[in-house]
Amino acid sequence: MRYSTAGFPFSRRLGRCCLIGFLLSGGGCLPVMKDYAGHRVFNPMYLFYLEWGLRDKWQKPDEVITALELPPSAVVADIGAGGGYFTEKFSAAVGPSGRVYATDVQEVMIKRLGKRVGRRGLGNVSVVRGGFHDTMLPESCCDLAFFSSVYKEIDARISYMRNVRRILKPGGRVAILEYRRDVDAPGPEPGSRLAQEQVIDEMQSAGFVLLKSLDFLPREYFLVFGAAP
């Protein structure tokens, strides 16, 4: 396994210990979530886990993107993009005539996204500092708003998702990936995982309808919504 601890105030030895504790006990070394500006967010100490090669095996990003059937030159908002794992894959999928907005609320993530965009030459990616209550993206700019293990971290989810409706083009969609509560695997603390039914109910309250539910991911449910008429 390869991971980087550059920019974080802990040694490689501690990083390896945290990895072992994380994998064996679901976050036994350091909390997976932390307080940031009065909100609960993903702990950047575990960014290396998000970039671990084994993630491709259980999250199946290529299959996820294929299932979304993005139109040519699509515009995608990768909300809570973290280190840019999905951002880079969306960048390749939409091509040079498409666009990806990679957003996050944490300074460390914004810096990591910027470095990834520059290092990989992702010319169709724009890094945007998002807000806790708003995406900070232009109105009617996106064909897809994508949330990978991020939806649960939003405080006022119904209000936030109403704002997400504003950034969607006509026919635009929202895709949400979240850990299932009955899966015993490294990831979010069990108490923070949301039932699929709760997400569907909240999205309906925000003005969306469920278009499809996909079950090919071993750890997560995968829901796709469209704006209600």
pTM of the model: 0.82
User: Under CATH, what is the fold of the domain 56-227?
Assistant: Rossmann fold (3.40.50)
In the chain, what are the domain boundaries? 12-50, 56-227
For a pLDDT cut of 90, what percent of the chain falls above it? 64
Instruction: Give, for 58, the enclosing helix (H) or strand (E).
Output: helix 55-59
Q: Can you give the pLDDT at residue 10?
A: 39
pLDDT classification of 94: cutoffs 50, 70, 90:
very high
Measured N-to-C along each axis, helices 196-205 and 157-167 cross at an angle, to the nearest 10 degrees, of 60
Give long-range contacts, CB 8 A cutoff, 24+ apart: 48-52.
48/3, 48/4, 48/5, 48/15, 48/19, 49/3, 49/19, 49/22, 49/186, 50/82, 50/83, 50/85, 51/3, 51/4, 51/83, 51/85, 52/1, 52/3
pLDDT tens digits, one per residue of 50-89 = 676 678 888 999 999 999 999 889 999 999 998 999 999 9
Chain-wide mean pLDDT for the chain?
Answer: 84
